[in-house]
Structure 1
Amino acid sequence: MRYEISEVIKKDQVMELVFGNCSKPKDLLGRHFIMEGQVISAYHPDAVKMEVISEDGKHYPMDTVERQPVFSLFLPHKRPFYYQIHMTFHDGNTYICNDPYSYEGLITEEEEKMFSKGIWTEVYHKMGCHKVKLGDTEGMYFAVWVPGAKRVSVVGDFNFWNGMLYPMHKMENSDIFELFIPGLSCGQFYKFEVKNAQGEITQMVDPYAVMNEEKESGASRMFDLKRFHWEDMRWLSERYRGNVLKRPMSVCEVRISELDSPDEKVQETVQDMGHTHILLRGTSEGEKFGAHKGFFEPAFYGNTPDTMRFFVNRSHKRNIGVLLEISPEYLRRAVDLFEKKNPQALNYLLANVLFWIREYHIDGFVFRGLREGAADFLTKAKEIIKKEDSNILFIGEQTTDKNLKSFFDFEWNLEIKAGVDKYLKADIHNRKKEYFQLSQPLMNGDFSHALLLLNKEISIEKNNLFKDSFIDKKASCDYDKLTGVRMSYGYLMGVPGRKAWDLHSHENISSQEYVKSLLRIYQEYPALYEYDPMRAPFEWINGMDAESFVLSFIRKSPSGRDNLLFVCNFSEEEKKHYRVGVPKNGKYTLISNSDAVEFGGEGRGEHQEVKAVSECWDLRPYSIEISVPPLATLIFKF
């Protein structure tokens, strides 16, 4: 071995490389400038001959080092030049490639320090696998954090899954291993092969992968996130200026497994109904965001990042926000990582949540399966995300944990809808004693931050909050049942709180039209959505009339104009000449009747516009006399 080569290559390093124990292959492979010129070295376990091909086409034979498949060349000049390695193998086949070890790493020393401190929030831009162009050479850059590893290699369908071919280089001040491999392209599969301190070898998928194989033991897949073109800047700019407590919010739940095609049917339906947001939910088959998928991989139809981004982009162009459900499994894994108090793990988790906001333009997160220890993680996550964008929404289950209550922007309210379900399921002769199931949940509490699921049967069972509804699932539902459905929808629309619905629950056309009309009213009247802390938005007229099974209440607008009166008849008898107390004199105009003919009803109680009279009723100075159809909700404007 020439003296000049021995300045770069040491015997012990060669043996570490050959036996698969080398953590810093760039110390001996690639190009090294020395006092006398430059040394170029390369390695392949099956090579018998190597040459350097310079940019002008000249071939420079390389010498073996220590009788191993490590080859080296000394050139007596320091002029940098582009070169390739020409390899000849035992079977006579040859291969020409760019030298992976001749390229500098992309992670800076400052980024490495931030990662070690747990504050590198854009870590996903370089960790994982990324398509890059270094000089005139395109390829894939890999980086992964593997503490305590003796050797980490990139393996895949491009190198026969051989961990001896592309050992990665360990950075100086961390356990980050990195390598740029020229010539690789999107669509190829890869993993990281890890040899630990005990000599055990395992393969792992990329924790930062944005795409993985479907099968359980599948590999990660190379993908270029930079190629997608967003067209939703108008939506984002409006979102940044928004105050969610001043705007209507109607969430439509969509199961990810139902999005099996790229057409616009879902967005068209959601927009036509009048919803403001789509909630992407998982399914019982485990296709949950963050369940068996990687933290950075969307569980979406087509199994590619761009299909989900296309869906979000198109939703935003239709003025529809997109929320992601965080599954209990994802949250469990996240909390387990967080509780290790490892700065790198914390960095991974917080960067992951920011990733969905920055790379997928997600508008909020819905958390399920809250567990002990979640408060600390969620508080830290909220801190960094609200700093990024204060309008990102956090929605969670009802909880008695004060820390979590203060964390969520909105909280699922289960008692109100559960009371309606229990009442409607009761035998008609036993409903009187269930009457207060309707009003009791509304007697106390601030519902400005509540989110009501209007069309699912509520179950308090753990991790099974929303079961299939026992009403309104088929067009063949009997008349009385559909009448009760519409009545309950009208009542729940008047209850304080934001609204949530299931995409496919309104298969009955007339019921669907009634819901659309309710959502139009919801959008039009600030009394139903705008919150003023100085003015209570909800006021009972009578929530104690168990004899007649009628509930009446007022929704008050912050401006004092266009207030709404709700009268809900939960009995199967029409209430003729029914008197309701009202707060002031003037006209009360009917704007919605769940028994209207266009909604499948009989048209009773329509065309009502009544004038209040000075007759004290329900402890109010004025009152009106109206006719209330059976199982119906009437909404009056005043």
Structure 2
Amino acid sequence: MSMSSKLYDLMDWAEIEAITYSEENHPKRLLGSRPEGNSTLIAAYFPGADGVSIRADRARKDVPMELADEAGYYAVLLKKKHPFHYVFKVHYPDGREVTVEDPYAFPRVITERQEIQFTSGIAENLWEFMGSHRMQVDGVEGVHFAVWAPNAMRVSVVGDFNDWDGRIHMMERLDKSGIYELFIPGVKDGDLYKYEIKAKNGTVTLKADPMAFESELRPDSASVVRSIGGFAWSDISWVKERKKRQNSNAPMAVYEMNLGAFAPKKEDGSYANCREIAAPLAKYLLDMGYTHVELMPVMEHPFDGTFGYQTLGYYAFTKRFGSPEDFAWFVNYMHEKKIGVILDWCPSNFPEDEYGLVDFDGSCLYESEDPNRSFHPQWGTRTFDFTKPEVRSFLMSSAIFWAETYHIDGIRADGIASALYLDYGRENRPWSPNIYGGKEYLEAIDFFRSTNKALHRHCPDVISIAEDNSGWPGVTNPVEEEGLGFDYKWNESWRDSFLDYIHYDPIIRTHHYGQLCFSMVYAYAEKYMLPMTHDVFTRGQETFFGRLPGAWDDRLSAFRASMAFFFTHPGKKILSQGLDMGDPEEWDENKSINFDLVKNVDNQRMHNVVRDLIHLYKEKPALHELAHEENGFEWINCVSANENILVYLRKTAKKEDTLLVLVNFENIPRKEFRIGVPFAGKYKEIFNSDSEKYGGFDFRNHRILKSEELKWDGRDNSVCVKVPPLGVSIFEVE
């Protein structure tokens, strides 16, 4: 029997058609090598080739392969016992001869344990085995690719290395998980790639890698093979101190910003590299006294106008601002300057760009099949399906990834209410209840709990912050107490109430006085951060300074008083870019922060008062210690609605740390206003927002005030003070 006859009998012709029609999800059954007695059958698929031969290890000559199917399917039976190493020599009609390793000759890389963890929703290190990774397998250098696409008919890796031809590198499906994987020899760092996915209905799409560490600069969307983890960190002293810098008693003054806003765009429209802005940003933060910078999402996203909040690359630092190594350098630099870095992270929804997560494998994979859950009408995005354990593994791992890989100090989960409630944003629209008929998204609740536990297990000193505007109970309670396990929560109710109050004319504020006081009713229900952040000052909503009513001088006074109230109210602090200098114009993605504003006298003074308040907040223990405990605050007067005056104490366990704060949101000065004091003694004014140096009328208490044994405000002792118009005075006990 001739060799051709033997080969013919060994061919599975029906299955070979799956190869030639690019519909095979188990190509290793038909490609690569397998034993046939004491011989070895080797098959390969090289569409467009003129001929293929094999050179086996220690062989003296090449052995031609036979063309079994004219589409490019080649086979040969070698009288050599399996296994052994070999290479293909591929000849093309243009005269090229290319020597290549057989990608189907290598064993699987992903373990069954990893598959089980992934499909159980408990994979906490997904980035270590999914996506693209340079490695050596059986002594051969190459890149291992892995992607989850369980409902695809076929998945191929396409890229620079195979002329984007989906027939060349069809991936092997792992049936327990629906993960496709393939090790491709010769692929190198910097190579572009995507996954070509053939759906069961025959539709073929190109998808970026959800697990890629780098992507092309938008509008291009290919993923980039990139090795990470080789950066030489020098922030060990910061990491050792991080726990005490971020605990509940530590001062945290956070500067919220978009990386693209700190420096003007270049002439070609590109943003500055994050390395370029690191030094001037750190200098600015240190001068102002900020302890942390919070970055709007730096994960890869398609449209600048979303500020990053419609993420597609959950593991990729956006190319807008540099490479993964550039970002590691940026974080390391911040840490060397003793500045923490917090990242915004979007686990609730994703955009519908075709190359992204939407309909990923021809089915609703990352989103729900239920149209009442899959689409978010408020934002025009898809929402993640938390009922799928694989989706939970994908998102949970991404949070841990940024903390472990880039030494991030905190993760701020954006818009968690849209994940916690099945009816969120669906007013007058249909929504699908949970199994008990309720609106709570039970699997999302479990996801946030599991993610916080995993994050704190991997990185105990990294904080997690929730942005939740729904009033969900126990957001910062421990998981063991049925909480969600976050460290802090934005107090958006305080912000919204205060912004509503302050926009009224002072004469009208009397009728809204309760909005000033109400926050203390629930102030200790959670561990709060007070957010004066971009989400309420952009998109036509007016800046903070733009909302202040009245004559110019009154607006300046109200700004100073508002900032003083902000920094003396319990809770950690977050200020949005530009707000600290009273920028009257809202920021958008096409312009940078207008630092020239501080050349104006009024803006310089607003800038100065914020700087002084940040330093005061950090220096005075009463303003940050016990901020999350009831005994750190005490009302003196919360009933002077007609005067729009508040008086309260900020305290620590030490009597001598006590601060007395007087707030007046009416534009009327009062020469003799009596207030009760906590104990007899001398009271010295250490801050007055109406000081001349801030542009005020200098209606201050220049002299030390001695208390009198005159009962007032329910206290045995009191003092008579001067109350600045639209101003705040802070006193300490001598």
Identify whether the pair has TM-score above 0.5, normalized to the shorter chain. Answer: yes
- Say which of 375, 389, 394 aligns to 2:459: 389
Give TM-score, length-normalised by structure 2: 0.78
- 1:122-133 matches, cutoff 5 A: 122-133=125-136
Superposed CA deviations along residues 59-97 of structure 1, whole A, max 9, x for unmatched, are: 322221535433344444448665432111233332222
Asked whether the equivalents of residues 454 and 489 of structure 1 are also in contact (C-alpha less than 8 Å), the reply is: no
Structure-1 residue corresponding to 2:403:
357
Local SS of the residue matching 1:384: helix
Structure 1's 113 and 131: CA in aligned 2 closer, same or farther, altered over 3 A?
A: same
- 1:597-612 matches, cutoff 5 A: 597-605=692-700, 607-612=702-707
Q: For 1:75 and 1:348, how far apart are their aligned partners in 2? A: 44
* Alpha-carbon distance, 1:345 to partner: 2.6
What is the letter of the counterpart of residue 381 of structure 1? T
Q: For 1:236 and 1:90, how far apart are their aligned partners in 2? A: 59
Structure-2 residue corresponding to 1:378:
448
- 1:492-531 matches, cutoff 5 A: 492-507=566-581, 508-531=603-626
Asked whether the equivalents of residues 524 and 630 of structure 2 are also in contact (C-alpha less than 8 Å), the reply is: no
Structure-2 residue corresponding to 1:221:
224
Local SS of the residue matching 1:381: helix
Structure-1 residue corresponding to 2:242:
239
Structure 1's 17 and 447: CA in aligned 2 closer, same or farther, altered over 3 A?
A: closer
* Alpha-carbon distance, 1:44 to partner: 0.3
Structure-2 residue corresponding to 1:368:
415
- 1:183-582 matches, cutoff 5 A: 183-215=186-218, 218-240=221-243, 244-258=247-261, 260-261=271-272, 262=274, 263-264=277-278, 265-281=280-296, 285-289=304-308, 291-299=310-318, 301-302=320-321, 304-327=323-346, 330=349, 339=385, 341-362=387-408, 363-368=410-415, 370-371=417-418, 372=421, 373=441, 374-391=444-461, 392-402=463-473, 404=475, 406-407=483-484, 408-442=486-520, 445-446=523-524, 449-454=527-532, 467-471=542-546, 478-507=552-581, 508-531=603-626, 536-582=631-677
2:48 corresponds to 1:46? yes
Structure-1 residue corresponding to 2:437:
none
Q: For 2:23 and 2:661, how far apart are their aligned partners in 1? A: 75
Local SS of the residue matching 1:226: coil
Structure 1's 570 and 112: CA in aligned 2 closer, same or farther, altered over 3 A?
A: closer
Structure-2 residue corresponding to 1:139:
142
Asked whether the equivalents of residues 15 and 30 of structure 2 are also in contact (C-alpha less than 8 Å), the reply is: yes
**RMSD over aligned Cα atoms:** 3.3
Moved more, 29-38 or 618-627: 29-38
Structure-1 residue corresponding to 2:24:
22
- 1:69-88 matches, cutoff 5 A: 69-78=72-81, 82-88=85-91
Superposed CA deviations along residues 548-602 of structure 1, whole A, max 9, x for unmatched, are: 4332110111333311001123233332233221011122222212122332334
Q: For 1:547 and 1:539, how far apart are their aligned partners in 2? A: 21
Superposed CA deviations along residues 320-364 of structure 1, whole A, max 9, x for unmatched, are: 222222348637977857646333233222222222222233312
What is the letter of the counterpart of residue 159 of structure 1? N
Structure 1's 67 and 555: CA in aligned 2 closer, same or farther, altered over 3 A?
A: closer
Q: For 2:5 and 2:653, how far apart are their aligned partners in 1? A: 86
Local SS of the residue matching 1:295: strand
Structure-2 residue corresponding to 1:619:
714
Give TM-score, length-normalised by structure 1: 0.88
Asked whether the equivalents of residues 683 and 731 of structure 2 are also in contact (C-alpha less than 8 Å), the reply is: yes
What is the letter of the counterpart of residue 448 of structure 2? L
How many residues align? The count is: 632
Structure 1's 339 and 421: CA in aligned 2 closer, same or farther, altered over 3 A?
A: closer
Structure 1's 565 and 64: CA in aligned 2 closer, same or farther, altered over 3 A?
A: same
Moved more, 262-271 or 481-490: 262-271
Local SS of the residue matching 2:580: coil
Unaligned stretches of 5+ residues in structure 1: none
Moved more, 231-240 or 152-161: 231-240
What is the letter of the counterpart of residue 596 of structure 1? S
Superposed CA deviations along residues 489-541 of structure 1, whole A, max 9, x for unmatched, are: 11221111111112222332222121121111211222112228775211111
Local SS of the residue matching 1:225: coil
Q: For 1:501 and 1:631, how far apart are their aligned partners in 2? A: 21
Asked whether the equivalents of residues 452 and 499 of structure 1 are also in contact (C-alpha less than 8 Å), the reply is: yes
Q: For 1:627 and 1:215, how far apart are their aligned partners in 2? A: 58
* Alpha-carbon distance, 1:303 to partner: 5.6
Aligned-pair identity (%): 28
Local SS of the residue matching 1:167: coil
Asked whether the equivalents of residues 277 and 320 of structure 1 are also in contact (C-alpha less than 8 Å), the reply is: yes
Unaligned stretches of 5+ residues in structure 2: 263-270, 352-365, 368-372, 375-382, 422-440, 477-482, 582-602
Structure 1's 449 and 608: CA in aligned 2 closer, same or farther, altered over 3 A?
A: farther
Q: For 2:79 and 2:499, how far apart are their aligned partners in 1? A: 86
Superposed CA deviations along residues 307-332 of structure 1, whole A, max 9, x for unmatched, are: 43333332222222222223486379
Structure 1's 116 and 546: CA in aligned 2 closer, same or farther, altered over 3 A?
A: closer
